[in-house]
Amino acid sequence: MPLFFRLTALTCGLFLLILLQASGYIRPPVPLPPPEIEIQTEWSPEELQKPPNIIILLSEAFWDITQIKSLQFSEDPAPMFHALQEKFTHGTLLSPMFGGGTANVELEVLTGHSMRFFPEDSTPYEQYIKQPTASLASLLAGQGYKTTAISPFYHWFFNSSEVYKHLGFSRFISLEYFNPDEYVGPYIGDHAVVRRIIEESERNPGPDFIFANTMENHYHYWPGKFKKNHIEVKSNMSNAVTGIAETYAQGLSGADRALQELIMHFSRVKEPTIIVFFGDHLPSLEKLLVYKESKYISGEDDPDFLEKMHNTPVVVWSNYLPKEAKEELHMSPSFLGPYILNLAKRPGSPYTDFLSDLYRKMPVLPPKTYYEAMNIDVNLVQQYEDRQKAILKLEKQAAASGGSANVAGVDAADSGGGVAGSDGGDSGDGNSATGMNGTTGSSTSDAAGSSDASNSAIDTGGTGSDGSSATGMNGTTDSSTSDAAGSSDASNSSVDTGATGSDGSSATGMAGTADSSGASNSSVDTGATGGTTKGTPPFILGYGEPLIERVSPDTLTVGGDVFGRSQLTVHGGRYGLGSTIFINGEPQQTTWQSESSLSVNLPKSLTTNAATLDVQVRVLDSKNRVLAASRIVKVPVLEKKH
Q: What's the pLDDT score for residue 282?
A: 98
Q: What span, in angstroms and rounded, lies between the C-alpha atoms of 415 and 567?
A: 75
Q: How many CB atoms lie within 10 A of CB 603?
A: 15
Residues 6+ positions from 380 with CB-CB distance below 8 Å? 358, 361, 362, 447
CB 615 within 8 A of CB 570: yes
The pTM (predicted TM-score) of the whole model is: 0.78
Which parts of the chain sit beneath pLDDT 50?
A: 1, 3-31, 408-536
pLDDT at 512: 35
Looking at residue 607, what is its pLDDT? Answer: 81
Domains assigned to the chain: 49-399 (3.40.720.10), 547-638 (2.60.40.10)
DSSP secondary structure code for residue 605 in this structure = H
CB atoms within 10 A of CB 138: 34
Per residue in 562-571, pLDDT tens?
A: 566 789 999 9
| Cα 283 from Cα 276, distance rounded (Å) | 20
Phi, then psi, of 148 in degrees rounded to 5: -130, 135
Rounded Cα–Cα distance for residues 354 and 411 (Å): 11
CA 479 to chain centre: 26
How does DSSP classify residue 55? Answer: E
Beta strands in 486-595 (DSSP E): 494-496, 506-508, 523-525, 540-541, 547-552, 556-557, 566-573, 579-583, 586-587, 590-594
Cis before 230? omega within 30: no
> Which pLDDT score, from 0 to 100, does residue 642 have?
55
